[in-house]
Amino acid sequence: MNKKIKILMLAGSVLAMAFFGGCTAVDPVARANREDMSQEGTIVFTRPARFTPWFGNYSISQFIEVTYEHVSRNGAGQLVVEVGIRNRGPVSWTNWHQQAPKVLNIAATCNFYGTSAGALGGPIVYQTNRRTLAINRGETFAYKAVCPVEGANGYQLVLGD
């Protein structure tokens, strides 16, 4: 090989390592602290693990629409949360060039709190198992969570990748 080509390949490799060295996958639920989550609403979108800040935001909040949100109590006095999650595809003019996935796989966890203010300083009294929701483009998934603890008054649904 020519010496100039070797130097160019080495320089390109060094630049690629420097550029991609800062890209790391972050588990959104493990890194979220109580103060940050307490400032959010009842439905929280976390950053996905395949987030690419330099080439566009592939956040699930760009593709998801919450169609309804109902909170009620069942006959046993348990808090019931029902949320409609719709995969609407890309709708922003800034991501017209992106191919939205036909099926979004979203992880959902619902945290129940003893206070009605949600995560504002109160401890979690019950947390549902992490569920993976597969939602086709244009369809609405009816998510439902029931808290078996009778003292629960607030909730926070965490949707992530």
pLDDT value of position 25: 39
Instruction: Write the pLDDT tens digit of every residue in 78-117.
Output: 999 999 999 887 665 655 565 666 888 889 999 998 876 5
State the residue range of the domain holding 124: 25-160
48 within domain boundaries: yes
Instruction: Write the pLDDT tens digit of every residue in 108-153.
Output: 999 998 876 545 557 889 999 999 999 998 899 999 999 998 888 8
4 within domain boundaries: no
pLDDT value of position 151: 82
Pairing of strands 154-160, 43-45: parallel
Could you tell me which residue, 144 or 159, shows the higher pLDDT? 144
DSSP code of residue 65 = E
10 within domain boundaries: no
Instruction: Write the pLDDT tens digit of every residue in 17-69.
Output: 655 554 443 344 444 555 555 556 777 777 655 555 555 555 677 778 899 99
Cα(144)–Cα(68) distance, integer angstroms: 12
pLDDT value of position 30: 46
Could you tell me which residue, 75 or 160, shows the higher pLDDT? 75
Q: How many domains does the chain have?
A: 1
**Using CB atoms within 10 A of its CB, is residue 42 exposed (0-12), middle (13-18) or buried (19+)?**
middle
User: Domain containing 65 — which CATH number?
Assistant: 2.60.40.3230
39 within domain boundaries: yes
3-state SS class at 146:
strand
